[in-house]
Structure formats: structure tokens, C-alpha cells
Amino acid sequence: YSTQTYQNILVSRPDPSVTLITLNRPKALNALNSALFHELNAAAKEADEDDAVGAIVLTGSDKAFAAGADIKEMKDKEFARAYKENFLGHWTELTRVKKPIIAAVSGYALGGGAELAMMCDIILASGTANFGQPEINLGVIPGAGGTQRLTRALGKSLSMELNLTGRNLSAQEAAQHGLVSRVVEGNVVDEAVKVAVTIAKKGRVASQAAKEAVNAAFELPLNEGLRIERRLFQSMFATKDQKEGMAAFAEKRKPNWSHE
């Protein structure tokens, strides 16, 4: 894949240190099909491997971050084929990206769209954003985190309500319950790029370790998570950035990260 060949996403560099990936199937409200996901994974991998990039922003359009998995692509699926080809198993590749990913969400983030946003590290919402798991209305259930990541974000009762009734959560409710970090007044993509630039200016070893450590909180019991955090913290003393960061503080100057 080169960025020229993408049909379902746009890739740009709003800042030399930030890759912006825009889902681009406007006629289908960015419904997520296999081709789109292969492109998204390829673009995210390219950004992850690019030394100049420190953070990634993922967004959709004003009307829809993504209105879910592509129902038209799915509707005639049979179990045997879905199982053999591990249908949508490659969706989770995004969670293996080491650099921080910020989702900038406007409009619909439904079904797989909400699940995709939840695979990112930070979610910023515009006032129009709304989140939901309407799979119940299609005779199915979420398949990429809508019953798991959403429950960890919202707690049992609200997650059950969304999963069982299919009702959507407004941006304000999403912020109130911690699904998104905040509702942005102005342009949510510009704000997400600003946050990404801020992150990209930090030492990359530390930002990657911070992401790894926070994610451990979702996988491990507390004592194991704390152990991982402490080991990662201790390992920071093997980095040039630790020496530079602490020397710069003592010398009252700005650090100059080598990302090593």
C-alpha cells in the first residue's frame, strides 16, 4: 500500500509529527467494510513505523465518524465462512499500534464505529457526536468491543441499557460518563491535531511506555498492572530521554528529546 492507492480513507500530515487518517466513504456514512479496514490498518502501521510521526489522529466526517460495520457487506454472511476467515478479526490490529491514537468524533459513532473509537487511546467529541450499539436492532450483538470496552468505560448499567435498547448516548452524556475525555467547542479535528502535536513533542519512548502501562490497566489485575508500571518506570532510567529530561529540569531549560 502507498498512500496514493487508498480508496476508503484519506491520509494527510497536518503537522510533520502527526498522521491524520480520515475515513472517507461519505455515501455510506463511513460504514466499515473489509477494504476500509485493510487500508486503515496499513496507514496506521505506516505511521507507527515512521520516525517523524509521534501521534495519529483518526476521524470521519461532520455527519458520521462511522455508522457501523457495513450491513450490506455482512447481511448474507454464513457462520462457516465468517468463522473460517475470522470475519473482522483483523479489526483489532489497530490496538497493536504503539503510538498514541486520538479519535476525533463528530456525528454518528454507532456499532463498529463506536467500537473503532474505543480502540483508540483518547476520544475527543464534538457537540454533535453520538455513540451507540444498535446491533440489537439488527438481530445481533456487538462483535468488536461494544459489550467489553464500553462496559469498562461506562459501567454495567449504562452499557447494558445501550446494548439492550439500542439507544444512543449524546456527546455530553459520553463525557459525563468518561467514554470521551471531553466535548470540544470548536473544530474537533483541529483540537485533536493540537493534542497529537503536544504528545508528539514528548519523548517517544516515554509516551509509548505510558500507553502500554495505561492499557495494562484494562488487561491485568491491579497488582500485575502495578508491577508492569513499576518495571516500565524503572526501565526509563536506561533511556537518554530520562537523563535529558531531568537534567533540563535541574538546569531550568527545555528538554531536547532524542527519543532514545
Among 69, 104, 125, 174, the active-site one is 69
Is the CB of 45 or the CB of 90 nearer to ligand CO8? 90
Cell (9 digits) for 203: 519523548
Q: Could you give the count of Cα atoms lying within 13 Å of 53 in the half-sphere of its Cβ?
A: 25
Per-residue x/- track, 29-48, ligand CO8 (CB under 6 A): x-x-----------------
50 closest CA partner among 174, 195, 200, 150: 200
Q: Pairing relation of β-strands 169-170 and 130-132?
A: antiparallel
CB 53 within 8 A of CB 200: yes
* 136 part of the interface to ligand CO8, by CB under 6 A: no
* 67 part of the interface to ligand CO8, by CB under 6 A: yes
- Catalytic residue list contains 144: no
Instruction: Count other Cβ atoms within 10 Å, centred on residue 241.
Output: 20
Listed in sequence order, the residues at least 6 apart from 194 whose beta carbon sits closer than 8 Å to its beta carbon are: none
* 11 part of the interface to ligand CO8, by CB under 6 A: no
CB 154 within 8 A of CB 114: no
* 68 part of the interface to ligand CO8, by CB under 6 A: yes
The interface region with ligand CO8, picked from 44-52, 53-61, 94-102, 134-142 by CB under 6 A, is 134-142
Is the CB of 88 or the CB of 216 nearer to ligand CO8? 88
The residues that are catalytic are 69, 112, 115, 135
Q: Which residues bind ligand CO8 (CB under 6 A)?
A: 28-29, 31, 67-72, 88, 91, 108, 110-112, 134-135, 138, 142-144
